[in-house]
Structure 1
Amino acid sequence: MKIFLHVCCAPDLTISFERLLTQGYQPKTFFYNPNIYPEKEYNKRKKELIKLSNKWGFEIVDDNYDPKIFYSKIKNNLNNRCEECIKFRLEESAKKAKELNFDFYSTTLLASPRKSHSTIKKWGDYFADYYGIKFLYVNFRSNNGVKRASEICRTYDIYRQKYCGCSYSLNEAKELEEISRNKNFNELTNIIGEDDAKIVFSLYKKEILKIPEDLAPKYIYHGGLEVIKTLKPVMILMKKNIAEDFNLESGRVKINRWKAKFLIW
């Protein structure tokens, strides 16, 4: 059975597409997101969708990128802009689905861990009734859907954005990042002292943190694995003789509720 699927981003499409296939649907995707800012980010997310399309063989219906549409829709309701953003994208999706003779439509917004399902379902049903089609509600997040989406993204090397999409969410993400950065620096200072923290913190969020090449072992012998936690690296490459002192093996290790990926050599 065919279904017209609005796509907000490739990461949310992964689990949505997989679940719909298991339910017997053949999705035709619709990339309609004039909320995304800046245009460079829009093109980056679109490129990731095309990457998945080339691997999985689904069709993409594209729409022109016009951010003025987004700002015109939210300008009178900034405090409720997230719902307005969901609302106008669902309306355009329902309208396009009707034009293309689809009986069903849905959205990958239902896979996002930050979106309100009640809001999506409310407007999804509303525009389905208005345009004379049906809205398919599926909780793509259920049964470890978010975790499964992460696994698929890693498998296909899919870019995972750090903010929802609009300029407002980008600014909010930057503010939260600054708060997190300061918090981690202060924690590191409490562990190894301010002078050493100023030196070591240059390694913050390093893609691959090499120990002992990047981080001198004396810091973790003094402050424990909490030192690594404050630096938030993507991966830690640690020599075997050092790892043995902390009973570490290759794989994911939880350090006070933060998971780190270690590769021991």
Structure 2
Amino acid sequence: MRVFLHVCCAPDLAVSYEKLIANGLDPVLYFYNPNIYPTDEYVKRLNEVKKLSEIWQLELIEENYDPNDFLDKIEAVKNEKSKRCYECMKLRLEKTKIEAKKRNFEIFSTTLLSSPRKSHYDIQSIAKKLEENDLTFKYINFRSNNGIKIGANICKTYNIYRQKYCGCSFSLNESQKYEEISKENNLKNLSNLLGESTAKIWFKFYKTDLLRIPEDIPAYLIEKTDLKILQYLKPQIVLIKKDIAKDIGILNNSRFKVGRWKGKAIIW
């Protein structure tokens, strides 16, 4: 059975797709997200949805992009995060319902149900008020049974861009503030571990894509700190020589965890 599916972004579509198919639902994708800021980000997210729609051969309907739709909707509550997010979801679901009826769909849903940032209670509360006798909202907990992990693996397989903030200018500012605070805290923790002057030398590798050991960071620092230096530098991938890896207990290429940081080790 066909379902008119509001799509907020490609990563959330990746989380939801397999569960929709498993429930016997054939999604027609509807991209309506006037909240996304700036325009370049909107285009980037739309293109990633297009990429998945082509891979899975799904019909994609793109709505006109007018940020004023969002800004007008949230004007009265723009300084209250929870209310702002609620009105943003309501706007997109209302538009999805209207377009679903125009196209004679009996079911509509949204990939917002995939996002760990969104309240299922709020989504269902909004959607139930939009239902009519000939149009119902399909609720599926896309996040259940490792849904987010499965979606992340799909994104890696198809090289899908995964955004770092929800979408609007407010969430972008909040994300940037959080990143600044996080960076300051990691430098502080590294300074406590190594001393301030030494920490500043190595902090240039903070969140680097590839950290080479011993070319970038000497092996003795890894051993001395019992890998904790990686927790505060947070590289995506650690490229490490075989003899050094063996000494610190890394025996093969794998993902590993230090504190709250997770990374990937590649031995050579």
Q: TM-score, normalised by structure 1?
A: 0.97
- Shift in Å at residue 15 of structure 1? 2.1
Q: 1:158-210, CA deviations, whole angstroms, 9 ceiling, x for partnerless residues?
A: 11100000000000000110111011101111111111111100000000111
CA distance in 2 between counterparts of 1:262 and 1:224 reads 15
2:128 to 125, 129, 135: 125
Structure 1 partner of 2:169: 167
What secondary structure is seen at the aligned counterpart in 2 of 1:76?
A: helix
Which of 220, 228, 231 is 2:230 aligned to? 228
Task: Name the residue aligned to 1:40.
Answer: 40
Kept after mapping to 1: 8 A contact 2:231/2:260: no
Partner of 1:217: 219
Look up the equivalent residue of 2:166 and give its one-letter code: C
Cα offset, 1:132, TM superposition = 4.4
Rounded Cα–Cα distance in structure 1 between residues aligned with 2:173 and 2:96:
27
Which SS does the other structure have where 1:224 is aligned?
Answer: coil
Take 1:100 and 1:32, find their aligned partners in 2: how far apart are those partners? 15
> Which consecutive residues of structure 1, in runs of 5 or more, have no partner in the other structure?
none
SS in 2 for 1:214: coil
Cα drift, residue 18 of structure 1: 1.2
> 1:212 Cα shift?
1.0
The separation in 2 between residues aligned to 1:182 and 1:28, in whole angstroms, is 44
**211-220 vs 198-207, greater mean Cα deviation:** 211-220
1:192/1:222 contact within 8 Å kept: no
Q: Deviations over 1:62-108 (max 9, x none)?
A: 01111011000000122110000000100000000000110000000
Mapped partners of 2:94, 2:134: distance in 1 = 12
Alignment of 1:160-199 (within 5 A): 160-199=162-201
Q: Distance in 2 between matches of 1:70 and 1:48?
A: 22
Residue 245 (structure 1) shift:
1.1
Return the alpha-carbon distance in structure 2 between the equivalents of residues 181 and 132 of structure 1: 51
Report Cα offsets for 1:3-62 as digits up to 9, x if no partner.
Answer: 100000000001211111111111000000000000000000001001111111001100
Q: Which residue of 2 aligns with 1:15?
A: 15
CA contact (8 A) 1:11 1:160 kept: yes
Match of 1:202 in 2: 204
Asked if residue 247 in structure 1 is aligned to residue 249 in structure 2, the reply is: yes
Q: Distance in 2 between matches of 1:26 and 1:223?
A: 52
Deviating runs (4+, > 3 A) in structure 1? Answer: none
Contact 1:104–1:135 (CA under 8 A) maintained in structure 2: yes
Q: Is the 8 A contact 1:212 1:238 kept in 2?
A: yes
5 Å-filtered alignment, 1:134-173, equals 134-173=136-175
**Separation in structure 2 between the aligned mates of residue 3 and residue 221 of structure 1, nearest angstrom:** 54
Gaps of 5+ in 2: none
Classify the secondary structure of the residue corresponding to 1:75: helix
The residue identity in structure 1 corresponding to 2:49 is L
Match of 2:99 in 1: 96
The CA distance in 1 between the partners of 2:15 and 2:180, in whole Å, is 31
Structure 1: how far apart are the matches of 2:145 and 2:220?
Answer: 43
CA–CA distance in 2 between the matches of 1:46 and 1:207?
A: 25
TM-score normalised by the chain length of structure 2: 0.96
| RMSD of aligned alpha carbons | 1.1
Equivalent pair of 2:223/2:248 in contact (CA under 8 Å): no
2:30–2:60 Cα contact (<8 Å) kept: yes
Q: Provide the secondary structure at the position in 1 that maps to 2:88.
A: helix
Mapped partners of 1:88, 1:141: distance in 2: 23
SS in 2 for 1:260: strand
Percent identity between the two aligned chains? 50
Q: Distance in 1 between the 2:226 and 2:176 partners?
A: 29
